[in-house]
Amino acid sequence: MPVQLFDLTGRRALVTGSSQGIGFALARGLAEAGASVVLNGRDPARLSAAAAQIPGAASLLFDATDHTEVRQAVDSFERATGPIDILVNNAGMQHRAPLEEFPADAFERLLQTNIASVFHVGQAVARHMIARGRGKIINIASVQTALARPGIAPYTATKGAVGNLTMGMATDWAKHGLNCNAIAPGYFDTPLNAALVADPDFSAWLERRTPAGRWGRVEELVGACIFLASDAASFVNGHVLYVDGGITASL
């Protein structure tokens, strides 16, 4: 039956940066599709609170920007608990400032959080997936993978890099049975965008600019994630799937 293509029963999914926002919504959606989910974050209290809201969820505390810590956490989890079949690289941050005044330390944090973490966690998990000959890696990109807006040039650079790293992962790892793809959300009502959501002028602009005429809801990303994590996407590799209300399709 076609619906069975989307069944994630018996699979385990690790979602980075999943104590809130998009990461939490994706983890909950994967769980509802049958997967055992593992939440990740750096704040123990927030991580435990998030895990308590998803029946059967586990948590794995590590800093996704620390290569050694990531490797130790993933290797230890695989030995003690079992395979990670699905990885969603969601950890990310934003910083807004005019490019000519953009703080160098903020630029470095963006590089580490938004792109280095995808490399660190992706590599650590892929080593085990390669040995098993199967696995799904889903990186969270952005409309800024393809577009730019004033005040977020470094963020745009990191999300462009996520798209290119996704293609590189597919190019290197598809032959080992891995599917490596990305989801590129448009403008969603999340804690990361709280300041923009609260700005009536920006919200009015966004509604005019987006063909769908509104902000996205985080639940609207779940279907794309389940698709890319499932057997339905068995021959999809190196793809960036835009879930953006049509914003990248329209001038």
Read off the pLDDT of residues 60-111 as tens digits, 9 standing for 90 and up.
999 999 999 999 999 999 999 999 999 999 999 999 999 999 999 999 999 9
Q: Of 166, 164, 146, nearest to 156 (Cα)?
A: 146
The catalytically annotated residue of 77, 102, 155, 188 is: 155
Of the candidates 92, 93, 169, the one whose C-alpha atom is nearest the C-alpha of residue 127 is: 169
Whether residue 38 is contained in a domain is answered as yes
Residue 190's pLDDT band, with cuts at 50, 70 and 90, is: confident
Residue 246 in any domain: the answer is no
Indicate which CATH number applies to the domain containing 197. Answer: 3.40.50.720
pTM to 2 decimal places: 0.96
- Report how far residue 245's alpha carbon sits from residue 22's, in angstroms, rounded to the nearest whole number: 16
Among candidates 209, 215, 230, which has minimal Cα distance to 9? 230
Tokens representing 125 are 């998990």
- The confidence band for 124, taking pLDDT boundaries of 50, 70 and 90, is very high
156 domain-assigned:
yes
Distance separating alpha carbons of residues 1 and 5, to the nearest angstrom: 7
> Domains in the chain: how many in total?
1
Query: Has 242 been annotated as catalytic?
Result: no
Whether 251 is in a domain gets the answer no
Q: Where does residue 56 fall: left (phi above 0), alpha (psi -120 to 50 degrees), or beta otherwise?
A: left
CB 34 within 8 Å of CB 11: yes
Residue 37 belongs to domain spanning: 2-240
The sign of the torsion formed by the CA atoms of 32, 36, 39, 44 equals positive
